[in-house]
Amino acid sequence: MPIRRLQTDILILGAGGAGLFAALHAQAANPSLGITIAVKGLLGKCGCTRMVQGGYNVALAPGDSVERHFMDTIEGGAWLPDQELAWTLVTGALERVRELENELGCFFDRNPDGTIHQKAFAGQSFDRTVHKGDLTGIEIMNRLSEQVWARGIGRLEEHRALEIVKTADGSAIAGVLLVDIRTGEYLFAQAKAVLLATGGGPTMYRFHTPSGDKSCDGLAMALAAGLALRDMEMIQFHPTGLLAGPHTRITGTVLEEGLRGAGGHLLNGRGERFMSALDPRAERATRDIVSRAIHAEMLAGRTSPNGGVYLSMAHLGPDNVRRQFGGMVERCADCGFDLAAGRVEVVPTAHYMMGGVEFAPDCTTALIGLFVAGEDSGGVHGANRLGGNGVANSTVFGGIAGETMARWVGREGGFRDPDSTAIDAAVARTERPFREGSAGDLESVRERLCTTMWDDAGIVRDATSLSRAAAVLTELAAELATYGLPRAARDRAFNLTWHDWLNLDSLVSVSRAIVTAAVARTNSRGAHYRRDFPDPGDLATSTYVQVRLHDGAFDCAAVHVSFSRVRPGQSLLGR
Ligand SMILES: Cc1cc2nc3c(=O)[nH]c(=O)nc-3n(C[C@H](O)[C@H](O)[C@H](O)COP(=O)(O)OP(=O)(O)OC[C@H]3O[C@@H](n4cnc5c(N)ncnc54)[C@H](O)[C@@H]3O)c2cc1C
């Protein structure tokens, strides 16, 4: 199989908030560097940053503070976040939001006095979410893309990264093997520094919110390269996914948090409000708590016609709802629901992965030359991400990664020779479905994967369900390993069946990491709830779960969380 070659000083995988910010900051730090962005979709049109609805958390307003934002992040994350990463997030967000407005030209909504409007999001002690209506991500991505297009940054669009390729001695990254989706040709991009910014995305669950291009490829590549992932058991379910029936892919897409923040009510199938009995913050409790409460209503059979619960906004005044949440009102109307004056059926939906590659605040990883930022990284949010901290994470750390890579390449960077046998092995693995005989049924694999993860490794888990999930995942991995493309589907150009197989391969591998970590955590924290271990455990001796793939098997370790700024029971406020 011929392999094209390309050399670039910096290779960025992914073109969401993390990837684009990294490219701009790397170029600003050293304009002489060759920078290339490789992206599975079209630049500016793919990934989840574009889908951001609610907004961006930053402690701008008088009365708010970075300490307060930090404490909300740590407590929301059930004391599992890495405190240096969380501190970098809350302090960096201040700088980044100014940059978004003043250098990139984002127009965020304003108060009548000209200050930036900040709305309420759940789990926060202050209204700090900056936004552009309820379609904030489009504003951010359009402005970022314009800047990237204008600056001569290289683009490999519709190029899928397949494998991290190391040097022969395994000590550093040499480059990345990619496939051009438009032709099916392979490309080896040799780079001095590589950023992993493919954005996680828990699309292995029956109901999920992320964009269709996301299949955890970056995390699967990191596992295959032997890197340690942390917090993989922490899958965030957003409480209010639209539930419009099984016939439409709009089912599962998210209705933004600001609806609950503004005072929306959740009602069960009998029309009863159930959150106020469970948490003093009622519907404004964190996502994990609200999702579990909805799940309990579903298990008890108190559901709406499609099997979820209702979101009701009408008591806030239909005109007011239409004015504040125009995008959401339209989305619901497309499915026959009246959000402003009626009720909308909703279901918890897999939204975000708190887990990812272990990294340092400067975005370095354990592999020399590999950097990580955004949803592929782990440790910023711990057990639960606050709404509004996701896009802050990708843009803050994306910018930092760009600066770090530019400095690092100037200081230490040289092209390193790849292990050519590793490239050949990666091509052979990717080519497998062109060689194998039995066609199999990818749709059935996806169906079983999504059902298993939802039922057995979802909002509520226990040892029995997780062991069932592990067994099914082993079967699915074996099925994928022997899958062969049907004879009529062997054209390489835009071969969606082949890419579906690759997507499923990544998803099954990362699902196994999720299940392994969920088995290892024998307590309940944030998004991870074990029916058989409902207590949170001792906060003062908190550990996070580290997972690694080694010779085809997953290893787990419990690592103590370092309380470098504040210990459980203490607060940075009022010091
Ligand atoms: C519907 C929705 C609403 C959200 N609303 C909010 C909100 O209001 N506030 C908030 O803070 N967060 C929100 N989030 C979360 C937020 O979008 C993410 O936290 C963040 O934007 C992730 O940024 P990223 O750059 O890491 O990944 P993304 O923006 O997802 O970008 C990933 C990129 O990697 C590319 N890619 C994937 N695989 C490969 C591969 N194999 N090779 C090459 N490229 C690849 C993708 O095509 C994409 O370009 C929302 C998420 C969703 C899904």
pLDDT of the residue at 437 = 63
Question: What would the pLDDT profile of 9-48 be if each residue is shown by its tens digit?
Answer: 999 999 999 999 999 999 999 999 999 999 999 999 999 9
User: Residue 366: which pLDDT band, with cuts at 50, 70 and 90?
Assistant: very high
- The pTM (predicted TM-score) of the whole model is 0.96
In a 13 Å sphere around the CA of 335, the CA atoms on its Cβ side amount to: 26
What does the radius of gyration of the chain's CA atoms come to, in whole angstroms?
Answer: 23
Q: Which residues contact 173 (CB under 8 A, 6 or more apart)?
A: 164, 165, 166, 167, 191, 194, 225, 367, 368, 369, 370, 416
Give pairs for 420-428: CB < 8 Å, separation 24+. Answer: 422/163, 422/165, 422/166, 423/3, 423/165, 423/177, 423/188, 426/162, 426/163, 426/165, 426/177, 427/1, 427/3, 427/177, 427/186
Residue having the nearest C-alpha atom to atom 4 of ligand 1: 52
One-letter-per-residue 3-state SS of 135-171: CHHHHHHHHHHHHHHHCCCEEEECEEEEEEEECCCCC
Question: Quick check: 245 pLDDT over 90?
Answer: no
Question: What would the pLDDT profile of 427-473 be if each residue is shown by its tens digit?
Answer: 999 999 998 667 789 999 999 999 999 999 999 999 999 999 999 99
pLDDT of the residue at 348 = 97
Q: Are strands 154-157 and 309-312 parallel, antiparallel or unpaired?
A: unpaired
Pocket probe for ligand 1: among 20, 36, 39, 49, the residue whose CB has the most ligand atoms within 8 Å is: 49
Q: What is the mean pLDDT of residues 309-333?
A: 94
Lowest mean pLDDT among 31-35, 79-83, 258-262: 258-262
Ligand 1 pocket residue status of 14, Cβ below 6 Å:
yes
Residue having the nearest C-alpha atom to atom 9 of ligand 1: 388
Q: 412: CA distance to ligand 1 center in Å? A: 30
> Residue 494 in 3-state DSSP?
coil
Q: Which residues contact 560 (CB under 8 A, 6 or more apart)?
A: 541, 542, 543
Q: What is the mean pLDDT of residues 210-229?
A: 97
Q: Are strands 356-358 and 173-180 parallel, antiparallel or unpaired?
A: unpaired
260 is a catalytic site residue: yes
User: Residue 201: which pLDDT band, with cuts at 50, 70 and 90?
Assistant: very high
pLDDT of the residue at 427 = 97
pLDDT of the residue at 438 = 72
Q: 510: CA distance to ligand 1 center in Å? A: 17
pLDDT of the residue at 440 = 81
Q: How distant, in Å, are the alpha carbons of 84, 99, 224, 268, 290 from that of 174?
A: 29, 33, 15, 54, 45
Question: Quick check: 412 pLDDT over 90?
Answer: no
Residues 415-440: b if buried by 16+ CB within 10 A, e if exposed: ebebbeebbeebbeebebbeeeeeeb
315 is a catalytic site residue: no
Q: 120: CA distance to ligand 1 center in Å? A: 22
Question: Looking at ligand 1, which atom is closest to the CA of residue 393?
Answer: 19
pLDDT of the residue at 575 = 60
Question: What would the pLDDT profile of 277-300 be if each residue is shown by its tens digit?
Answer: 999 999 998 888 999 999 999 999
DSSP structure class, residue 272: -
Burial of 319 (0-12, 13-18, 19+ CB in 10 A): exposed
- Extract the tokens encoding 527: 């998004």
Residue type, 361: P
Ligand 1 pocket residue status of 17, Cβ below 6 Å:
yes
pLDDT of the residue at 216 = 98
Q: What is the mean pLDDT of residues 519-524?
A: 98
Do the beta carbons of residue 262 and residue 339 sit within 8 Å? Answer: no
User: Residue 246: which pLDDT band, with cuts at 50, 70 and 90?
Assistant: confident
Question: What would the pLDDT profile of 223-244 be if each residue is shown by its tens digit?
Answer: 999 999 999 999 999 999 999 9
Spot the catalytic one: 25, 96, 159, 260: 260
In a 13 Å sphere around the CA of 394, the CA atoms on its Cβ side amount to: 33
Tell me the average pLDDT of the chain: 95
Question: What would the pLDDT profile of 113-125 be if each residue is shown by its tens digit?
Answer: 999 999 888 778 9
Q: Are strands 309-312 and 343-353 parallel, antiparallel or unpaired?
A: antiparallel
Spot the catalytic one: 160, 238, 525, 528: 238
- Alpha-carbon span 396 to 102, nearest angstrom: 16
Q: What is the mean pLDDT of residues 126-152?
A: 94
pLDDT of the residue at 228 = 98
Closest CA to 470 of 459, 460, 482, 457: 457
Closest CA to 466 of 531, 385, 527, 526: 531
